[in-house]
Amino acid sequence: MGPNKTTLCQPLHRLTSSKVSFTWLPSDTAAFHANKQAFAEAVLLSFPDFDKPFHLYADAGGLQLGGIIMQEERILACYSRTLTEHQKNYTTMELELLSIVELLAEYQTMLLGGSYGPQKFHVPDGKNLRTKRWKLRLADYRLSMEYIKGNKNVGAVAFSRMRFETKEQATVVEEMYLANNNPECVMHGPVLREHQQNDKMIQQIHTACLAGTNNPDYRLLPLLGCMLVAYQQRIVLPRSLRDDLMDWYHQNLCHSGGTRQYKTMRQIFYWPGMDTMITKFYHKRQTRKRAKVHGGK
């Protein structure tokens, strides 16, 4: 719990002895409140000291990810989120790696460039493209790894098994793509807003939202730093950006396949006939690739 635990608890322990009668005194009330205060202080989050190493603990359960960041036994930050349906099919080692990547991504502004003590998690030797991409992200951090058994990794294990009432959410790894502040990037908020304003169908929805006559599935939401038209919490993508966005995801997902690309994109974006259009896009790319391999035949 903290320093002076024995001294703080001693007056209360005295009352549990069979050799004394149970008499509650003002000193016992003071001891009780002192213990409550000590417990509360023990779980308060602390500010980071960038001159000292960070210690990261990460874990993954069957339904969610969890992790904590500490310095000298002081908790700096905690992280937990539920898994999406397709992530529940990942192997245990893939989930553990994902929990590390997301913990680092969530607190990137605090951790990037810092020094680290031995980190309490296991990095798998995954050979698929997904784990290779994740491990490349770890290269930005000066980490030293140390495996710790689950029964000793109490904090991270607890956060990876907490009960949640929230709906599934897009992964931080996928949302990191949205953080590109390049004004020329198709994922940039002002770019999306400008193209939505030039799309007649989206502008009709926008007008209906302002008038309160819209379909309840469509709303104006603050996304990527702008007010954008959204369908069921997903950005409605203008027709003018669809080809560029599909190509952008195709490159950033390392050509991972049409189904994977659709499932990734649909967590953030929406347009009518989205699945069919992405499937056609992917098949068209595959045809070009085969033609290139065979000399254009």
87-114 average pLDDT score: 85
* Strand-strand pairing, 218-223 and 64-71: unpaired
Return d(Cα 293, Cα 281) in angstroms, integer.
Answer: 19
In the block, tokens 């020094």 appear at 115
The terminus-to-terminus CA distance of the chain in angstroms comes to 72
Return d(Cα 279, Cα 257) in angstroms, integer.
Answer: 9
Return d(Cα 20, Cα 26) in angstroms, integer.
Answer: 17
The CATH code belonging to domain 55-159 is: 3.30.420.10
* Strand-strand pairing, 234-236 and 269-270: parallel
Largest CA distance in the chain: 96
Percent of the chain at pLDDT above 90?
14
The number of helices, as runs of H, and strands, as runs of E, in the chain is 12, 9
pLDDT of residue 231: 94
187-207 average pLDDT score: 90
The CATH code belonging to domain 182-292 is: 1.10.340.70
Whether the CB-CB separation of 134 and 96 falls below 8 Å is answered with no
In the chain, residues under CATH classification 1.10.340.70 are: 182-292
Q: Give the tens place of pLDDT for each residue, 168-191.
A: 444 444 444 444 444 455 677 888
pLDDT of residue 167: 45
Question: What band does 218 get if pLDDT is binned at 50, 70 and 90?
Answer: very high
Q: Give the tens place of pLDDT for each residue, 34-83.
A: 888 777 665 567 788 888 888 888 878 778 888 888 888 788 888 888 88
In the chain, residues under CATH classification 3.30.420.10 are: 55-159
